[in-house]
Chain A
Amino acid sequence: MTAVSKHVVVIGGGVTGAATAYDLSLRGFRVTLLERGSIGAGTSGRTHGLLHSGCRYVADTEVARECYLENQTLRRIAPFLFEKNGGLFVAITEDDLAYKDFFLKKCGEAGIPVEEVEPAAALKMEPNLNPKLKAAVLVPDGTFDPLKVILSFLASAKRCGAVVKPYNEVVGFRVEGGEVRAVRVLDKVSLREYELEADFFVNATGAWANKVASLAGLHVPVKPSPGVMVALDGRIGNRVFNRLNKPGDGDIIIHQRGTSVIGTTSWIVEDPDGVSIPKEHVELMIKRGSEIAPVVSRMRVKAVYVSSRPLVGQAAQTGREVSRSFAIIDHSREGVGNMLSIIGGKFVTARLMAEKMGDAVCERLGVSVPSRTAELPLAPYWLYFS
């Protein structure tokens, strides 16, 4: 069976859907991507923009290593998208300091190259850090403009013939004989509804994955988990500032273009649409952020924003586990054989998620073409517009 004869519809124009459209079209499939809003309008556009070194997840060696390897892959295939300045984990309190040895040991286990630097040296590198810092560790973090990364995946997909349709919302499914035959789509550009047939369907709608799957009578165990971020009117450093401790609220400040962003919090909601921002989260971000960099308390807040992680719920253990950090949900046990959903992960691991999804689609359609997204350079984002 050749891939060219198969049409795959990818639902969701976040980084997961974009990377999946690229992976599949590079393998030769005919791909159409549908996004209800503009590209990146869901969670992916609204992240910190942290190119994780994996160090935030060292408590789970496997997840940390996965992040680090993808960090390295992305730097290789698209160096132009990332501010590759590294990051610093800093200890401010005795409690932070007590975490250091564990942190260094776990970074070693995960194979992440880190280096402890003297507090004075850290302050020389980043003068806005808290002058009372007790320890600092340099890590291979980076930052990016999320929209431009997504557009680069899509520009690469378009180069392989993929059709990308923003402002096209999936509003229903036609399921017959144990298969999805077509999706019903509301085209907001021309105000019409149409049906799109395909051989296979990938649901990459993140925090919305269950809302979308339920249109076909299916279930995805996703737990939308919002987080609040506070953007400052100005840039206060170059290397990412992380609190040297277990991940918690307000423990990171990342810098990109002319802005620094403090993040984040975490709770669980039922519906990712219309999540409101708790005022106390904003105060907490500024308070905790000031502990890392006192200048924060004197800066104007430019914007406060929120988005929802597509966390994998407990029930996903009945799904198909491909990684500890993300899950591909097989709907055949619910009676639909040609649709898979993908949830979880990180922005930084989207390429890997797409590779695993591509493998799964190939297996289902009896096609054997390997993924090549880790080797080939990404197209620059501006080619999306040509």
Chain B
Amino acid sequence: MKVRLIVRRWKQGWTRPRYDVFDVEADPEESVLDLIERVSLSTDRTLVFEHACHHGACGACGMLINGVERLACVTKVGEAARKGLLLVEPLRGFEVISDLAVDKSRMFSKYPAETQTLEPVAASLEKLYDCVECGVCYSACPIANTYGEYLGPSVLALAYHRALSDGVVPGSVAGSGGVWACHAAFDCSEKCPVGFKPGEKIMKLRRLLLGGRVKVS
């Protein structure tokens, strides 16, 4: 199929972004990420975007595709294109590094210091949390978009899991930038590519705190 790929471009030092148009031949079954990579290899090597796993497992490739937060690697061109148009823009809620790449330190700098990243599945089995740490929920969240101090949906959802296993959460989680800043819009859960349900987990964490069933450190 013929696709008109429109990419929001911004480079360090520019006063405003620019929209570049690439008319390309694409397979409706291929991912938006593969298409972007092909354009970067064949037409414009200065195109900046983040990607690694290409199968929805690492969270690198979150972006707005026709206005909606998606992981580009698990979004098919044929499903996402509207009348042959594909508009790709960086996630909201983060500072843009360049073009489609954003600085996710806002999310990662709020991780607890200790290295606990696995959840138990059974007695001797463990897995990484389903959250792929993509930042899509920050971009979708009206609070995270306007309130820089907000810890953000995924960090709070992970704190909820920690509260269940350890019975304690850090003070910041119970503070004004924590669970109480959430306005229960649930856009995070709606857009989360893996169904991690951060919105619901924030509500549950509130109830744990209100009921005094989890300590604040």
Contacts and interface: CB of A to CB of B under 8 A. Distances in A.
A257 B55 contact: no
A15 to B, nearest CB: 11
A145 B51 contact: no
B147 interface: no
Q: Contact residue range for chain B?
A: 35 or more
B42 to A, nearest CB: 7
A78 B104 CA distance: 22
Contacts of A44: 52
Query: Dominant SS at the B interface?
Result: loop
A146 interface: yes
A256 B128 contact: yes
Interface string A203-231: 00000000000000000000000000101
B185 interface: no
Given A39-B52, A40-B52, A84 B126 contact: yes
A38 B101 CA distance: 9
Contacts of B108: 381-382, 384-386
Contacts of B124: 85
B21 interface: no
A261 B74 CA distance: 14
A211 to B, nearest CB: 12
Interface stretch (A55-63, A188-196, A291-299, A365-373): A188-196
A184 to B, nearest CB: 14
B116 interface: yes
Contacts of B179: none
A38 B128 contact: no
Interface of B: 11-13, 31, 38, 40-42, 45-60, 73-74, 97-98, 101, 103-105, 107-109, 111, 115-118, 121-122, 124-130, 132, 194
Interface of A: 37-41, 44-46, 49, 78-81, 83-85, 145-148, 150, 167, 169, 186, 188-191, 229, 231, 235, 238, 255-259, 261, 273-274, 302-303, 305, 307, 380-382, 384-386
Q: Which 3 A-B pairs have the closest CB atoms?
A: A45-B52, A231-B55, A40-B52
24 contacts: A38-B60, A44-B52, A45-B52, A45-B53, A46-B52, A46-B53, A46-B54, A49-B57, A85-B124, A85-B125, A145-B128, A145-B132, A146-B53, A146-B58, A188-B45, A189-B97, A189-B98, A190-B12, A274-B38, A305-B55, A305-B73, A384-B108, A385-B109, A386-B109
